[in-house]
Amino acid sequence: MPAKGVAMKVLGVSGSPRVGGNTDAAVHHVLGALAQQGIETEFISLGQHPVKSCAACYACVEAKRCVLDDPNFDLLYSKFVESDGIILGSPVWFGSATPLMMSLIDRVGSVARRGENKLKHKVGASIAVARRAGKNFTFAQLNYFFLISEMIVPGASYWNVVSACQKGEFDRDAEGVKILDNLAENFGWLLKKIA
């Protein structure tokens, strides 16, 4: 973590292939609120930067990096490592996170754990977006990644879940938007405390 007074950076990743959809909007919402707190932010869409799934080759054990030929993953991994905080958002698909998001988590998590854990003590928060069911399960799935990575997860006034189905419906869930505002407040507060 940077010393006090040094700029902090938060990376937000959306696991939806629907560019400009509800998950993109939710992640952008939290990043916007963090930017208002003076925190540098960056957004990446897995829809625009899809990553391959883990090949279970275990080459990362020796190489300490992922050996798959995948420039999108290399870009994302470097951004995870350089960021102080990470926001992961996923739509709910058949009750769980999207394959895009799980591919990213599987590979970032595997590589980061080889040798010195590159994610330790970073701040992480997840957001699950769905028409109706599966939000809490997906929220938990993403949090498992943060917790096994020795990251610190701030809470909010509710679990970070948003109800939305068609593109553009994110703003209609007033309670969901309020939860994300509270999450951004707590996320920024924690980042500054531990900086």
Ligand X SMILES: Cc1cc2nc3c(=O)[nH]c(=O)nc-3n(C[C@H](O)[C@H](O)[C@H](O)COP(=O)(O)O)c2cc1C
How many residues in the chain?
195
x-or-dash string of contact with ligand X, 27-46, rule CB under 6 A: --------------------
CA distance 194 to 190: 6
Name the token pair of 124. 């992480």
The CA-based angle 165-172-85, given to 5 degrees, is 80
Is residue 167 a contact residue for ligand X (CB under 6 A)?
A: yes
Tell me how far the alpha carbon of residue 58 is from its chain's centroid. Answer: 24
The alpha-carbon radius of gyration of the chain (Å, integer) is 16
Is residue 19 a contact residue for ligand X (CB under 6 A)?
A: no
Is residue 18 a contact residue for ligand X (CB under 6 A)?
A: yes
Cβ closer to ligand X: 51 or 151? 51
Helix (H) or strand (E) holding 55: none
Tell me how far the alpha carbon of residue 129 is from its chain's centroid. Answer: 13
Cβ closer to ligand X: 138 or 149? 138
x-or-dash string of contact with ligand X, 64-103, rule CB under 6 A: ---------------------------xxxxx--------
Site for ligand X in 127-166 (CB under 6 A): 129-134, 164-165
Positions touching ligand X (CB under 6 A) are 16, 18, 21-23, 91-95, 129-134, 164-165, 167
